[in-house]
Structure 1
Amino acid sequence: MKMNPLGRTGIEVSELCLGSMTWGTQNTAEEGHDQIDRALMAGINFIDTAEMYPVNPVSAETIGRTERIIGLWFERDGRRGDVVLATKHSGEGLAAVRDGAPITSQTIPEAIEGSLRRLKTDYIDLYQFHWPNRGSYMFRKNWTFDPSGQNRADTIAHMEDALGALQREVERGTIRAFGLSNESAWGTTQWVEAAARAGGPRVASIQNEYSLMCRMADTDLAETCVNEDVGLLSFSPLAAGLLTGKYQGGAIPDGSRMSLNGDLGGRKTDRAFAAVDAYLDIARRHGLDPSQMALAWCLTRLFMTSVIFGSTTMDQLEVALGAVDVTLSEEVMAEIDTAHRAHPMPY
């Protein structure tokens, strides 16, 4: 398992990151603990969660349950030092958390204290803002997102105010590093510049959706990541399970995400299934497991710090772990590029 630097923090994280968002709905606490045990055995040191988890569905009754499950593992095993732990502060609009309040210097200490209690730890290694107050291009909003109504001065003032609150948490020892999620190239650059200008922790990473089927980061964000040492943490590298092939031909396996979230968060389109067919064909002809091919491809990206994957079964976890041993040939990489050009942005 390769280790990569987390921005300029001096922290190193494994190239695969164990996602946790199904623990507490689709997975029990015991299953989540088994996943942590197996992941650490395989060399993973990085676990990602969020105060709003679990999902499928998100509900007021389950908010914080995933963090509590992780906290119970820390309490059981006492292995906090073996894990680089990342969690997230929910942004504006999620009614189940702080009645939908935006991220502010007032909500940051409260949110951190809540996460620390649930996680049964004294510190968070990477504290991320789950999405920006001003909105995001992520979650299929790239088709309609309109930034023309933004007030630039207010955005910059918010960033500087939030960084001040984060710096106080760094000084208290409750967080070690700061990251973004569902941000844009412009927003990421402004966070970097605000820290240089006004102080506060420099953004170390950005967690955005990225996969063979969602490659928006290949454009402006990739350049930002490379030039500013802000590493990408990709989520949904298997396109919510589409790239496994399990949904082809109208199949909806029992207990799968599609059985709980019918349109896979807007990813279920006719063009998506055609794109999956193209990638499955490449994997089949080259004797590759399609999930491992998709994960291994993400690991080749020069701006990638860690690829976050989630599993609901141990068999799925084992397949994902095997991706680090897969090397994609130049021929496979060229065929993937051809498929991407034929099936761009399928959702």
Structure 2
Amino acid sequence: MKKIQLGTSDLQVSAVCLGTMTFGEQNSEAEAHSQLDYALERGINFVDAAEMYPVMPRAETQGATERIIGTWLKKTGRRNDIVLATKVAGPNPNMTWIRGGKNNLDAANIHAAVDASLQRLQTDTIDLYQLHWPSRNVPIFGQLSFNPNAERPCIPIAETLDVLAGLVKAGKIRHIGVSNESAWGVSEFVKQSELHGTPRIASIQNGYHLANRSFEGALDETCFREQVSLLAYSPLAFGQLTGKYLTDPNASGRLTLFPPTWSPRYLRTSVIEAARRYAALAAAHGMTPTALALAWCYSRWFVASTIIGATSVAQLKENIDAYSVVLQDDVIAAINVIHAEMTNPGQ
């Protein structure tokens, strides 16, 4: 599998990344270990986690994903075979189980988060440490536009970068990235790192899929010019783009196992209709909806690595197999027609 350099860092990651947010909720430890084994067999060397995983977030399970990865690393001794990424949670007063709900991207919180992640992962260093979402007010997780009335106190980007610089110097993390960021945010992170000589972000982890191509609105140019690599998450829109909910609205998955309030943007009528149209397009060209959706992400010039998640090795195999699917020009043209008529319903 092709390896891609992340940003200006020395990290070389597979074009497909194993997402792990099902580990400890929808997947047992044994199932998760099997997925990790299979992913490496198929040439994947990139594993992504977060301190708040698994989803949906709960006090009872928080940190389980990293612990499961840690037991796999201890059992297999394959730490040097993977690029290990995880994330520190941004502010969310509703997550009272993460540092009392007072989490933010300041020194005390980031240091506590890194040390806890290292302990759970049973490793001495994290290859890519990401800010899960910004400290400041920014439209994310289904918000469609910026709202200046929602402004709140936040940790300055320069301050956060200074904290991360200390952790790089201490050897606890190697490189840094952002997640759920905007074009302004990416530019400001680069600007502040250049002004203060702090580490440069290597990557941005944002949602990108057939029903949400908003990355193409400004972030694509910004990341190209600033040399920041996109890690595309939710390429199957929480399973909507697999077509399984079209066949059976009660099919087992995040959209039926968890409350609708957890992921309302993926339940919009417009997202379901877009999924129906993309599924029909896939069928007309002899492929599964999953293959169409993933091949789209795998083939975009601005996607460095696509983060795939699965609840079984069989699903994981299908997701990885889609890496070999080549979308012909007529299929791409048809995708763009649907996109023009139904622009980013899952944003």
How would you bin the TM-score normalised by the shorter chain? Answer: over 0.9
TM-score (norm 2): 0.95
Structure 2 match to 1:9: 9
State the 1:182 CA deviation. 0.6
**Pick aligned residue for 1:260 from 257, 261, 267:** 257
CA-to-aligned-CA distance 1:28-81 (integer Å, 9 cap, x gap): 0110000000000000000000000001x3111111010000000000001000
Distance of 2:4 and 2:292 partners within structure 1: 20
**Distance in 1 separating the partners of 2:137 and 2:309:** 25
- What secondary structure, in the 3-state scheme, does the structure 2 residue paired with 1:141 have? coil
Mapped partners of 1:58, 1:244: distance in 2: 23
User: Offset of 1:216 from its aligned partner?
Assistant: 1.0
The aligned residue for residue 104 of structure 1 is 106
| Kept in 1: contact 2:128–2:176 (CA 8 A) | yes
Per-residue displacement from partner, 1:92-115 (whole Å, max 9, x unpaired)?
013221122211022111110000
Distance 2:72 2:36 in 1: 8
Which residue of structure 2 aligns with residue 123 of structure 1? 125
Kept in 1: contact 2:89–2:132 (CA 8 A) = yes
Change (3 A) 1:96 1:136: farther
Select the residue among 238, 241, 244 that pairs with 1:243. 241
5 Å-filtered alignment, 1:69-88, equals 69-88=68-87
> Counterpart of 1:237 in 2: which secondary structure?
coil
Give the match's secondary structure for 1:346.
coil
Alpha-carbon separation, structure 1, partners of 2:323 and 2:276: 23
Task: Describe the SS at the equivalent of 1:247.
Answer: helix
Provide the aligned C-alpha RMSD in A.
1.5
Give the conservation status (yes or no) of the 8 Å contact 1:130–1:181.
yes
Deviation at 1:272, TM superposition (A): 1.3
Tell me the number of residue pairs that the alignment of Structure 1 and Structure 2 aligns: 341
Determine the C-alpha separation between the residues in 1 that align with 2:110 and 2:26: 29
Displacement of 1:261 in angstroms is 2.2
CA distance in 2, matches of 1:51, 1:322: 29
C-alpha deviations, 1:288-342, integer Å up to 9, x for none? Answer: 1211111111122221111001000111101001011111001111000001111
| Gap runs ≥5 in structure 1 | none
> What does residue 42 of structure 2 align with?
42
CA contact (8 A) 2:137 2:151 kept: no
In structure 1, the residue corresponding to 2:124 is in which secondary structure?
Answer: coil
From 131, 156, 159, the equivalent of 2:157 is 159
In 2, are the aligned partners of 1:311 and 1:317 still within 8 Å (CA)?
A: yes
Contact 1:9 1:177 in 2 (8 A): yes
SS at match of 1:106: helix
* 8 A contact 1:18–1:310 mirrored in 2: yes
Within 5 Å, give how 1:1-347 maps onto structure 2: 1-55=1-55, 57-93=56-92, 94-100=95-101, 101-143=103-145, 145-147=146-148, 150=151, 158-248=156-246, 251-254=249-252, 256-263=253-260, 265-266=263-264, 267-347=266-346
1:149, distance to aligned residue in structure 2 (A): 5.6
Percentage of identical aligned residues: 43
Q: How many Å apart are 1:148 and its aligned residue?
A: 5.3
SS at match of 2:32: helix
> Using the alignment, how far apart are the partners of 2:16 and 2:148 within structure 1?
33
Between the aligned partners of 1:188 and 1:337, the Cα distance in structure 2 is 27
Give the letter aligned to residue 96 of structure 1.
Answer: W
- Deviating runs (4+, > 6 A) in structure 1? none
**Native 8 Å contact 1:13 1:306 kept in 2:** yes
Instruction: Render the CA deviation track for 1:232-258: whole Å, top value 9, x for unaligned.
Output: 11110000000000001552113x112
In 2, Cα distance between equivalents of 1:37 and 1:341: 40
- Report the AA paired with residue 44 of structure 1: I
Amino acid at match of 1:51: E
Segment of structure 1 superposing worse, 107-116 or 71-80: 107-116
- Equivalent position SS for 1:13: strand
Determine helix, strand or coil for the equivalent of 2:251: coil
Counterpart Cα distance in 2 of 1:233 and 1:275: 23
Q: Which SS does the other structure have where 2:188 is aligned?
A: helix
Task: Give the Cα separation in 1 of the matches to 2:195 and 2:58.
Answer: 39
